[in-house]
Amino acid sequence: MTQPTPIADVPQTCAWAQGDPLMQAYHDREWGVPVRDSRLLWEMLILEGFQAGLSWRTILHRRDGFRRAFDDFDPTLVAAYGPDKVEALMQDGGIIRARAKIEATIGNARAFLRMVAAGEDFADFIWGHVNGQPLVSDGTTVPASTPISLALSKALKAKGFKFVGAVTVYAFMQAVGMANDHARDCPQRAICMESQCRG
């Protein structure tokens, strides 16, 4: 007769993703999977900026609303937003209605386009800070920020980006697979290390 596997030996997903189906799906399909697409990287950076002072759960449950409100995060369209659009967004219950973050998103779209106009690839710029390869933690300790996230934060600010502090940037790095911080016993830890890009 087969003996049941002790609970302690059963791989467990990262604790932060448990208890919410949407968070679990995000954890299993997206978090930590390397993203190499410049537009998607920009979208994730914007969403992490909106998270500042809030929880990722709050942002994730509004992500569809954000995508609708911000034209699927098309930097060219967002960069053209004017005062009327800002006021409309301030009335949109599907997003986080923080004026400073909305205005920063528009400015960040313009910063993104300036890089494109200068022939600078956003994905190469972002991934260059980790030499193009994900950083893999020990799976036990998760920092709020690192010297690399601080350096990337400073580099983004120098390009004109806002709401990109070192803590926000590290959360972004985790989300887009630049840093693999899945728990040691989480099945996604190894999967992300072997996975193809999701964008």
Task: Please list the active-site residues.
Answer: 26, 48, 56
Q: How many residues does the chain have?
A: 199
Joined tokens for residue 96: 């986080």
**From CA 29, how far away is CA 75, in angstroms rounded?**
25
Secondary structure of 14-65 in the HEC alphabet? CHHHCCCHHHHHHHHHCCCCCCCCHHHHHHHHHHHHHHCCCCHHHHHCCHHH
